[in-house]
Chains A and B, each alone.
Chain A
Amino acid sequence: MLQSVIQTHELSYRFADQQVLDKVSLQVNKGSIYGFLGPNGAGKTTTIKVLLNLLRSDDQNVFLFEKEISANRSLVLAQIGSLVEQPAIYGHLSGRENLKARAILLKVKDDRISAILDLVALSAHADKKAKNYSLGMKQRLGIGLALLHDPELLILDEPTNGLDPNGIIEIRKLLMRLTSEEGKTVFVSSHLLGEIERMATHVGIINKGKLVFQGTIGELQQLSNEQVIIETNDLVEAANTLLAGGYPADITEEYVTVPFTDAEQMGAMNTLLVNSGSTVYSIRKTKKDLEQLFLSLTQPL
């Protein structure tokens, strides 16, 4: 049985009269990269703060490493490395000194600092003041700080915010390596589906404080309805022909779509269109892409 690393049971949280989280039940298993997706203001950072005990849930319904967090705060936090909102870095200290200040608190040996600097590719800039770092370097240092005490679980809030494509790729590779080679678990939030899609094994989608989807990337794709996409010389004529033939056709600027049922249906529609004089350029089966799916889950109709 998979070991549960994060588990919340109907977690709710309010700020004054605003319901920020509404019965969110997360399940994150060991070794996974869990992409926590949602538009800005959906409740991602609040969830992360509750997971880190920065905000307290009075209902004792937050479990990390199968332990209730409020009662086991220090024990649980010892196994977590985190990056919340933006990297917490002292600008007047160098990258190495930033790591050293944290290493003292966590009783981490000095040779680990050098290893972390190598890991996040900051060795060459280790003695430069952090305020002079680029955004990507700051972000990498923030991840280095999170990794310093070799935690089992990494909780990262929008770690690729403001990074250029190379920086995003580097961080993605690093996180994938940490899970595949070192067996770590990563909980990473983002408002960008494309970023999560490329690295996550599991996805949770939150919108307006509610968890609207949770499962593997494959399960997310299965949610999407399959469609038949047809390109012809005259889209309006083709759509009318299909409607007259009893098919629920829809039209876009580039093609006609019909919900997919089976291969025979595709063949029959093709025959109907050709017999009615349409020139069929292509006919294929497709799924709604994840971007559209994400939007349909997180935006009002």
Chain B
Amino acid sequence: MQAFFLSLKSEFLKTRKTLGFWSAILLPLVICGLVFAAVYFKHQGLINKPPLVIWMQYSMASLGVMGVLLLPMFVIFTCYSVNSIEHRADTWKSLFSLPIPKLTTYSAKYFYTVFLVALCLTLFASFTLLSGNLLGVLVPELKFNDYSFIRLLSSVYFKLFLSSLGILSIQFALSLLWADFLKPMGIGFCVFVVAMIASINNWEHAWKIPYAHPMMVISNLKPSNAGPGKELSIDLLTKEIYLSLAISAVMFVVGYFVISRRSVK
């Protein structure tokens, strides 16, 4: 177990100066910053609305962009970024000739990628809450501070995180398999477009495509489905989340076989 945490620490040291790591921080900072600025300068439509509705509309600006488009692309990019460090430096051989079990090295890398996605989504939730409360102070007509949105928003982002694990595991294995950016990115992007079309057209089997899962989390949050009032709740473990978790478990094992073979070359 100690070797696993040391490997995680080493991953942090290796990636802390890369775009892959910083995008997990900058992406929520920039998007939440832009949403904050937009609402600060133009908020007439939100004045006199109930606090929950204000929070919903405010958070959906980030959630919508993130869930529908950015999260799958961010996951694809992060998987590539974490693995490309080893591909570019040709360090797989070097890593696997260390007295550390191969499974430890592999799983530390995998869970570090999971950590980056979790970090990004946690920051999204945190920045949304902080900026919302700040707006409530700066623009008192916006009743942000009259409602605690923490539990609800945390649940949505946690579900978004779970929904991304299927994509993450597939993309992680693809990024192990191919050193170049285009193949995993191209495949990921194509499947994502297919998933988006399937999801938009309400295809009954869309939930079986992991790349549609984040989108489904957001589309199930539409006000018409959610309904107003404090009864609003998030059904965390839906069938697409179970599928996402199952795919991530299977692809984690597949990825290990991919990396075991890679060391042979």
Q: Interface on A for B, CB 8 Å cutoff?
A: 49, 52-55, 73-78, 80, 82, 84-86, 88-93, 97, 100-102, 104-107, 145
Contacts of B98 in A (CB 8 A): 77, 102, 105-106
Measured CB to CB, the nearest residue on chain B to A82 is: B97
Residue from B9, B10, B88, B100 in contact with A74 in the complex, judged by beta carbons closer than 8 Å: B100
Residue from B14, B90, B94, B264 in contact with A55 in the complex, judged by beta carbons closer than 8 Å: B264
CB atoms of A105 and B85 under 8 A apart? no
Shortest beta-carbon distance, A19 to chain B, in Å? 17
Residue in B10, B14, B93, B100 whose Cβ sees the most chain A Cβ within 10 Å? B93
Extra contacts besides A82-B94, A92-B85 (18): CB < 8 Å = A75-B99, A76-B99, A77-B97, A78-B99, A80-B97, A84-B94, A85-B93, A88-B91, A88-B94, A88-B95, A89-B89, A90-B85, A91-B88, A93-B14, A97-B13, A104-B9, A105-B3, A105-B6
CB atoms of B93 and A100 under 8 A apart? no
Q: Does B263 reach chain A (CB closer than 8 Å)?
A: yes
For the complex, count residues of B whose C-beta is within 8 A of A: 25
Within the assembled complex, what's the spacing in Å between the Cα atoms of A77 and B6?
A: 17
Shortest beta-carbon distance, A22 to chain B, in Å? 19
Shortest beta-carbon distance, A154 to chain B, in Å? 12
Chain B 7-24, CB-CB to A under 8 Å as 1, else 0, gives: 101100110011000000
Contacts of B13 in A (CB 8 A): 93, 97, 100-101, 104
Measured CB to CB, the nearest residue on chain A to B96 is: A54
Residue from B3, B10, B93, B100 in contact with A84 in the complex, judged by beta carbons closer than 8 Å: B93
Within the assembled complex, what's the spacing in Å between the Cα atoms of A93 and B88?
A: 13
* Contact status of A88 and B88, CB under 8 A, knowing A100-B13, A106-B98: no
Shortest beta-carbon distance, A78 to chain B, in Å? 4
Contacts of B89 in A (CB 8 A): 88-91
Within the assembled complex, what's the spacing in Å between the Cα atoms of A104 and B3?
A: 9
Within the assembled complex, what's the spacing in Å between the Cα atoms of A36 and B196?
A: 57
CB atoms of B7 and A105 under 8 A apart? yes
Q: Does B186 reach chain A (CB closer than 8 Å)?
A: no
Residue from B3, B10, B93, B101 in contact with A101 in the complex, judged by beta carbons closer than 8 Å: B10
Measured CB to CB, the nearest residue on chain A to B7 is: A105
Contacts of B3 in A (CB 8 A): 105
Give 23 CB contacts A-B under 8 Å.
Answer: A52-B93, A54-B93, A54-B96, A54-B263, A55-B264, A73-B99, A74-B100, A75-B99, A77-B97, A82-B97, A85-B90, A85-B93, A88-B94, A88-B95, A89-B89, A89-B91, A90-B14, A91-B89, A97-B13, A100-B13, A104-B9, A105-B6, A105-B98
Shortest beta-carbon distance, B202 to chain A, in Å? 45
Chain B 204-242, CB-CB to A under 8 Å as 1, else 0, gives: 000000000000000000000000000000000000000
Contacts of A53 in B (CB 8 A): 97
Measured CB to CB, the nearest residue on chain B to A81 is: B97
Contacts of A52 in B (CB 8 A): 93, 97
Within 8 A of A (CB), among B5-49: 6-7, 9-10, 13-14, 17-18
